[in-house]
Structure 1
Amino acid sequence: MKSKRIAMLLCMVLMLCLMFSTTAYAAGSGDVAGAIEGTWSTASQQIKTVVNKVVFPAIDLILAVFFFAKLGTCYFEYRKHGQMEWAAPAILFACLVFTLTAPLYIWTILGM
């Protein structure tokens, strides 16, 4: 019974893959590399825009929250033990500065 279910599930997945897949043809000359390069050149601007406007700000927000939370916990540990540990807040701050300035230079490094 269990093997029948697994076989049916695999058949369903195979049918869905076949149903939703499409064949990609290169332009009339059969130049596959040219078709891929053309697709990449049109999609690269969209990828760059999404990364600049969505991915980097999300990472910045997460790092800023972690930075201020860690700074707060370090302050409370300082009040409790009298010793300030700066390593974790410094690393988070360096990562935050890196991701805040990354859109200015990351695309030239990647060649886009």
Structure 2
Amino acid sequence: MKMYKKSLFILCVSLLLSVMLCPIVYAAGSGDVAGAIEGTWTSASQQIKTVVNKVVFPAIDLILAVFFFAKLGTAYFDYRKHGQFEWGATRS
């Protein structure tokens, strides 16, 4: 019975959140549903582009920079250990 109540509670909360947070698109009286969806997509695409340009690309740049400097550090320590750079693939 407890599992039933818990799953029912989760279902009700998710339904309530979906009703509260999902935007409603009206066809503006003319019945032009495609135009209403295109207008919504136009405004949403600008927000998506802003988020990608200001958050996603800098995060990827940071991750790639960390990997680059880590690879540079390992190359330096390999050079110190062996006295030469290993340009080919190495087998361990």
TM-score class, shorter-chain normalisation, is 0.5 to 0.7
Map 1:6-45 onto structure 2 (within 5 A): 6-45=7-46
Paired residue type of 2:37: I
- Percent identity over the alignment is 72
Aligned residue number for residue 52 of structure 1: 53
Structure-1 separation of matches of 2:42 and 2:79: 53
Query: More helix by proportion, 1 or 2?
Result: 1
List aligned pairs for 1:1-112, cutoff 5 A: 1-85=2-86
Indicate the RMSD between aligned Cα atoms, in angstroms. 2.6
User: Which amino acid is the alignment partner of residue 5 of structure 1?
Assistant: K
Secondary structure of 1:78 counterpart = helix
Question: Deviation at 1:71?
Answer: 0.8
Distance in 1 (alpha carbons) for counterparts of 2:63 and 2:52: 15
Instruction: Tell me, yes or no, if the aligned pair for 2:25 and 2:37 is still in contact at 8 Å.
Output: no
TM-score (structure 1 length as normaliser): 0.57
3-state SS of 1:68 partner: helix
Query: Which residue in 2 is equivalent to 1:90?
Result: none
SS for the counterpart of 2:57 is helix
Q: Deviations over 1:3-55 (max 9, x none)?
A: 23222332333233334445321222111111121222233333333322332
Cα deviation, residue 62, structure 1: 1.7
Paired AA for residue 38 in structure 2:
E
Q: Are the equivalent residues in 1 in contact too, given 2:75–2:85 (CA < 8 A)?
A: yes
Kept in 1: contact 2:25–2:36 (CA 8 A) = no
Unpaired segments ≥5 residues, structure 2 = none
1:50 to 1:72, Cα distance in 2 relative to 1, 3 A: same
Amino acid at match of 2:74: T
The size of the alignment, in residue pairs, is 87
